Amino acid sequence: MVSFVQKLDDSSKPHKIIGVAIIKNDSGQILIDRRRLEGVMGGLWEFPGGKVEPNETVSECIKREIQEELGIEIEVGKHLVTINHTYTHLRVTLTVHECRYLSGIPQPLECDEVRWVSVGELETFTFPEANLQIIEVLRKG
């Protein structure tokens, strides 16, 4: 008996476009948050952001998501990098923008923890695979 294994191409996986914020404070530290344990990729650290909704720009998405998830105000700045990555269960396009922290106290409203860290400290946290490319861009300055 011969068996065939058909590899589904990446287009068969759900695709999410994600707006990602690299939020820096006046000391140059970057805000990261830890995903809730019960969710997808639970317990991993990430740069805050979320899914772009229909009829929403990436900048609008980032500003909205940061307000909803962390309760702070930011200014969305220049585009830093766009990363396309395929996980076993989905494809993501991360559109990453530098952002400036304006006001409010970051709170873990939709995550387990938030932390201000230096670029050098990022490697001590476990991030989803797609975020590793963002860290590399940040290291290079």
Could you tell me the two tokens for 85? 């990555």
Helix H or strand E segment including 75: strand 73-86
1, β-bridge pairs: none
Q: Which two tokens stand for residue 136?
A: 């590399």
Q: How far apart are CA 43 and CA 102, in angstroms?
A: 27
Q: Are 91 and 13 in contact (CB under 8 A)?
A: yes
45 neighbors 34 (Cβ within 8 angstroms): yes
Q: In sequence order, what DSSP letters do the residues of 85-108 get, joined into one string?
A: EE-SS-EEEEEEEEEEEEES----
Q: What is the chain's pLDDT, residue by residue, as a tens digit (141 residues)?
A: 443 443 445 567 889 999 999 999 999 999 999 999 998 889 999 999 999 999 999 999 999 999 999 999 999 999 999 999 998 888 999 999 999 999 999 999 999 999 999 999 999 999 999 999 999 999 998
Annotated binding-site residue numbers for 8-oxo-dGTP: 35, 46-49, 131
Dig out the tokens for 12 from the structure.
């068969």
**Binding residue positions:** 35, 46-49, 69, 131
**CA 66, CA 73: separation in Å to the nearest integer?**
7
What is the predicted pLDDT for the residue at 114?
98
Report residue 38 as tokens. Answer: 């019960």
Sorted by sequence, the CB contacts under 8 Å of residue 116 that are 6+ apart come out as 25, 27, 29, 30, 31, 106
Predicted pLDDT at 2 = 42
Domains of the chain in sequence order: 21-140 (3.90.79.10)
3-class state of residue 88 by DSSP? coil
The annotated binding site for Mg(2+) is made up of: 49, 69
**Residue 10 has what pLDDT?**
57
The predicted pLDDT at position 107 comes to 97
